[in-house]
């Protein structure tokens, strides 16, 4: 198998050769000789997000940053967040670890040299391999956002056969997980945070399915927003700045809708999500039995932590939240409950299952006395990532008294992050991308 292959190969592999020509025409229209055209797209993007009360995260390829440092540094100064999108725009999945280290170190040097701050990484083509997070963590990156979750929000009968075929080819290339089967939530991988990105993204919608009607794009993303909201999960939008003219209204529609929802949607950058996930991991809940049916609760957490309870009563004020939960601001309070508001699991439960339930904010006790718990689970000996969503749903359906930390801060029900990759800013960047991949393939 070839170690790396050039951009033209990827374009044709995931698109078909006929589309390659259309793609080249689109590139010529989207980029200019200088970065002025791209600058206007970035400013437009920044204005839409600013008006919607959010800050985007742009993942930029290091060599592209090196060729256009002033503009990016200025946007960074204005508060826009940047992440590393590879040293060059290549597929890192087949690249050996030592070579990945060399690339990522070069990228770090370029970001530092250009005085552009970063904390995270997103892979070109959203393709990494199983060992990439470890490499990134060892180099000081705090997060990666390359895992893809695909939402089933499109009806294939609505699109021309060829367009649907192009879209399917993209999915084959990305190999996303299905959002119907997995939780779209950040995840710790050995202390390193992985933040999933949602598709269909702008490329799938516009370049593959040929949708340019802004209302239709809005409809697709509003649908994903609503689904992530109902599920209490995260919608990471992927919108490349060069397609902002097609997606401007869709972007402002989702930001407006996010503002309308109550409980709220937390709109955050990828760095803020990472920091929150790390902060939240340290929270603890102590639940001591006082007397019959009375439990004293002490929550050690930051002010913005969201504490939820259901099917039990607190002696401090609480407000109705969602899914049968009430939200409580107090950190020390007494609960009245027929049983301890914790989840009991059998002693043979998989450590991964226990860890998952704790990550979900619950207090979990391993015990062989089911009677002591409102919710007792004894079928967790084997547990994999695909079991997370069904387990989460099972807990939600339970009528047992439960106390937990919620996933998001400040009583938010779900989260939304606006991100976009900067692969090229000029026609020269695009041409050089092909050359850089060719040179990489010869190493
Ligand atoms: Zn890219």
Contact 236, 197 (CB under 8 A): yes
Confidence of residue 4 (pLDDT cuts 50, 70, 90): very low
- Mean pLDDT estimate for the chain: 92
CA of 421 to the centre of ligand 1 (A): 5
Confidence of residue 18 (pLDDT cuts 50, 70, 90): low
What CATH number corresponds to the domain at position 135? 3.20.20.370
Give the mean model confidence (pLDDT) for residues 390-409: 97
CA of 385 to the centre of ligand 1 (A): 27
**% of the chain exceeding 90 in pLDDT:** 84
CA of 423 to the centre of ligand 1 (A): 5
Confidence of residue 25 (pLDDT cuts 50, 70, 90): confident
178 and 89, same structural domain?
Answer: yes
Alpha carbons 375 and 395: distance in angstroms, whole number: 8
132 and 91, same structural domain?
Answer: yes
CA of 215 to the centre of ligand 1 (A): 25
CA of 13 to the centre of ligand 1 (A): 16
Give the mean model confidence (pLDDT) for residues 413-442: 89
Q: Is 327 part of any domain?
A: no
Please report the pLDDT score of residue 1 as a whole number: 32
CA of 141 to the centre of ligand 1 (A): 18
CA of 137 to the centre of ligand 1 (A): 21
- The helix-helix angle for 161-174 and 7-15 (nearest 10°) equals 130
Give the mean model confidence (pLDDT) for residues 138-165: 95
Please report the pLDDT score of residue 190 as a whole number: 80
Give the mean model confidence (pLDDT) for residues 323-330: 96
Strands 332-336 and 313-314: antiparallel
Contact 92, 86 (CB under 8 A): yes
Alpha carbons 323 and 312: distance in angstroms, whole number: 14
Confidence of residue 436 (pLDDT cuts 50, 70, 90): confident
424 and 388, same structural domain?
Answer: no
61 and 180, same structural domain?
Answer: yes
CA of 85 to the centre of ligand 1 (A): 7
Task: Kindly report which listed range (89-98, 221-230, 421-430) carries the lowest average pLDDT score.
Answer: 421-430
108 and 210, same structural domain?
Answer: yes
Please report the pLDDT score of residue 11 as a whole number: 47
C-alpha dihedral sign at 35, 40, 45, 50 = positive
102 and 160, same structural domain?
Answer: yes
Q: Is 434 part of any domain?
A: yes
CA of 317 to the centre of ligand 1 (A): 48
Q: Is 290 part of any domain?
A: no
Q: Is 277 part of any domain?
A: no
431 and 352, same structural domain?
Answer: no
Count of CB atoms within 10 A of residue 249's CB?
Answer: 13
Alpha carbons 62 and 354: distance in angstroms, whole number: 40
CA of 328 to the centre of ligand 1 (A): 42
Please report the pLDDT score of residue 249 as a whole number: 97
Please report the pLDDT score of residue 154 as a whole number: 96
CA of 426 to the centre of ligand 1 (A): 14
Write out the H or E segment, with its range, that includes residue 337: none
Count of CB atoms within 10 A of residue 380's CB?
Answer: 19
Confidence check: pLDDT of 271 > 90: yes
429 and 350, same structural domain?
Answer: no
Q: Is 132 part of any domain?
A: yes
Confidence check: pLDDT of 336 > 70: yes
105 and 15, same structural domain?
Answer: yes
Q: Is 361 part of any domain?
A: yes
Confidence check: pLDDT of 12 > 60: no
Give the mean model confidence (pLDDT) for residues 158-166: 93
Distances (CA, A) of 157 to 14, 162, 209, 275, 332: 21, 12, 12, 42, 55
CA of 177 to the centre of ligand 1 (A): 19
CA of 86 to the centre of ligand 1 (A): 9
CA of 350 to the centre of ligand 1 (A): 38
**% of the chain exceeding 70 in pLDDT:** 96
Q: How many domains does the chain have?
A: 2
CA of 160 to the centre of ligand 1 (A): 26
CA of 127 to the centre of ligand 1 (A): 10
Give the mean model confidence (pLDDT) for residues 300-319: 97
CA of 359 to the centre of ligand 1 (A): 31
Please report the pLDDT score of residue 427 as a whole number: 84
Tokens describing residue 233: 């999960």
Instruction: Please give the backbone phi and psi of residue 35, each rounded to the nearest 5 degrees, phi first.
Output: -85, 5
CA of 334 to the centre of ligand 1 (A): 51
Confidence of residue 180 (pLDDT cuts 50, 70, 90): very high
Confidence check: pLDDT of 83 > 50: yes
Contact 149, 176 (CB under 8 A): yes
431 and 355, same structural domain?
Answer: no
Q: Is 306 part of any domain?
A: no
Alpha carbons 396 and 128: distance in angstroms, whole number: 33
Alpha carbons 248 and 75: distance in angstroms, whole number: 19
Alpha carbons 306 and 25: distance in angstroms, whole number: 49
Tokens describing residue 372: 């002591």
Please report the pLDDT score of residue 55 as a whole number: 97
CA of 414 to the centre of ligand 1 (A): 26
Confidence check: pLDDT of 443 > 80: no
CA of 122 to the centre of ligand 1 (A): 8
CA of 353 to the centre of ligand 1 (A): 34
CA of 389 to the centre of ligand 1 (A): 29
Domain range spanning residue 115?
A: 7-261+414-441
CA of 65 to the centre of ligand 1 (A): 13
CA of 340 to the centre of ligand 1 (A): 49
CA of 174 to the centre of ligand 1 (A): 12
227 and 186, same structural domain?
Answer: yes
88 and 197, same structural domain?
Answer: yes
CA of 429 to the centre of ligand 1 (A): 12
Tokens describing residue 435: 């050359």
Task: Kindly report which listed range (167-171, 430-434, 439-443) carries the lowest average pLDDT score.
Answer: 439-443
Q: What is the gyration radius of the CA atoms in the chain, in angstroms? A: 23
Q: Is 407 part of any domain?
A: no
Contact 124, 90 (CB under 8 A): yes
CA of 39 to the centre of ligand 1 (A): 17
List the one residue out of 343, 338, 368 whose CA is nearest residue 353: 343
Cα 58 versus chain centre, distance? 13
CA of 441 to the centre of ligand 1 (A): 18
Please report the pLDDT score of residue 30 as a whole number: 78
Task: Kindly report which listed range (4-8, 17-21, 129-133, 332-336) carries the lowest average pLDDT score.
Answer: 4-8
């Amino acid at each position: 198998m070839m170690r790396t292959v050039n951009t033209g190969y990827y374009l044709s592999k995931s698109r078909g050769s006929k589309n390659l020509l259309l793609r080249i025409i689109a590139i010529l229209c989207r980029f200019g000789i200088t970065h002025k055209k791209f600058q206007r797209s970035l400013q437009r993007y920044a204005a839409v997000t600013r008006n919607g009360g959010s800050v985007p995260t742009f993942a930029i390829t290091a060599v592209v940053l090196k060729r256009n440092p002033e503009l990016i540094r200025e946007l960074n100064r204005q508060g826009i967040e940047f992440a590393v999108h590879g040293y060059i725009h290549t597929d890192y999945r087949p690249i050996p670890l030592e070579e990945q280290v060399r690339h990522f170190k070069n990228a770090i040097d370029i970001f530092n040299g250009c005085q552009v701050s970063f904390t995270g990484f997103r892979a070109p083509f959203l393709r990494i391999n199983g060992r990439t997070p470890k490499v990134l963590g060892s180099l000081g990156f705090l997060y990666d956002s390359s895992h893809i979750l695909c939402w089933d929000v499109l009806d294939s009968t609505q699109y021309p056969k060829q367009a649907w075929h192009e879209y399917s080819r993209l999915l084959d290339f990305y190999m996303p997980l299905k959002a119907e089967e997995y939780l779209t939530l950040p995840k710790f991988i050995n202390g390193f945070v992985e933040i999933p990105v949602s598709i269909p993204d702008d490329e799938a919608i516009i370049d593959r399915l040929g949708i340019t009607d802004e209302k239709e794009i809005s409809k697709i993303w509003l649908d994903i927003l609503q689904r992530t909201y109902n599920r209490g999960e995260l919608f990471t939008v992927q919108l490349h700045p060069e397609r902002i003219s097609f997606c401007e209204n869709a972007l402002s529609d989702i930001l407006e809708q996010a503002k309308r929802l109550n409980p709220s949607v937390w709109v955050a950058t990828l760095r803020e999500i990472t920091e929150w996930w790390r902060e939240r991991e340290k929270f603890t809940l102590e639940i001591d039995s006082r007397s019959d049916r009375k439990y004293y609760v002490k929550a050690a957490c930051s002010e913005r932590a969201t504490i939820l309870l259901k099917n039990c009563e607190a002696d401090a004020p609480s407000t109705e939240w969602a899914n049968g939960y009430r939200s409580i601001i107090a950190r020390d309070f007494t609960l009245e409950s027929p049983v301890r508001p914790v989840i009991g699991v059998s002693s043979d439960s998989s450590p991964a299952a226990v860890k998952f339930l704790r990550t979900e904010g619950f207090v979990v006790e391993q015990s062989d006395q089911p009677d002591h718990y409102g919710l007792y689970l004894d079928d967790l000996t084997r547990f994999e990532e695909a079991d997370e969503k069904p387990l989460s749903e099972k807990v939600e359906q339970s009528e047992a008294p439960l106390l937990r930390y919620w996933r998001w801060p400040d009583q938010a029900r779900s989260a939304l992050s606006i991100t976009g990759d900067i692969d090229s800013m000029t026609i020269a960047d695009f041409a050089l991308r092909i050359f850089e991949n060719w040179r990489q393939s010869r190493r």
